[in-house]
Amino acid sequence: MTNESASSGALLEMSDVRKSFGHVDVIRGVSLTVKKGEHVVIFGPSGGGKSTLLRMMNLLEVPDSGMISFESRRYFPHGGNLLDKASRLQQLRSQIGMVFQRFNLYPHLTALQNVSLALTDVKKLGRKAAREKAEARLAEVGLQDRMEHYPAQLSGGQQQRVAIARALAMDPKLMLFDEPTSALDPELIGEVLGVMEKLAVAGMTMVVVTHEMGFARRVGDRLVFISGGVIAETGGREVLTEPQQERTKAFLDAVL
């Protein structure tokens, strides 16, 4: 598996992953590969398992069964002692950035401090180096004039861009976006999607859960329609114009 994965350019592999909450089967045997430089857009009805699948990619949700590997190294299932397991988990998450629906910023810290914190605490950078890197990432998302502002002084779109800058500051190899615009007012959605599109053009590997079909059409290399805990349809952008499955067609008819 290792040699084949490396040669195919696979960055993340999930094989037959399953997840239940109580008696509800949320993910029912999903297999998915994300290649380096690829932009994968996951869409589908609410409650279909999209966010759960995304959160399993960095093991924020632990599957009940199946296999997950990153850069050909298996992270689930994993034996070994608890210390080794914790170390591998930290290693995995240090390579995968994640942006949530809610911004999860510290309200008592400025934008600059929110981005710098992980650099000093996790990356162990000195304060000067952390500040310089945080400033660069905030400028990258268009917030060079808002660095000293607190979250309450920022719009929702600006807060989400701080969250993106914070994830980018860790130099991730993969970025996960869990419906990053769902908590935003309509007029603020475009500024966040614009930042994400620039990241895609720059070559960042991305997996995005979203209902923004325009973004999916512009950016998605591969579109994955999930319904009822399974991948009902996957393909290129033709999935949006010529869906093959009735479930996909019905969903797109309702949202487009």
Average pLDDT of the residues of the chain = 93
Give me the mean pLDDT over the 89-100 stretch.
92
DSSP element (H, E) containing 16: strand 10-21
* Per-residue model confidence as pLDDT tens digits over 110-159: 999 999 998 998 888 999 999 999 999 999 999 999 999 999 999 999 99
More confident residue, 51 or 121: 51
Q: Quick check: 3 pLDDT over 80?
A: no
Q: Does the pLDDT value for residue 4 go beyond 60?
A: no
Query: How much is the average pLDDT of 32-49?
Result: 96
Q: Give, for 149, the enclosing helix (H) or strand (E).
A: none
Alpha-carbon gap, residue 178 to 85, rounded angstroms: 25
Q: What is the pLDDT of residue 84?
A: 77
Mean pLDDT of 92-99: 94
Q: Which of 70, 57, 71 is nearest to 19 (CA)?
A: 57
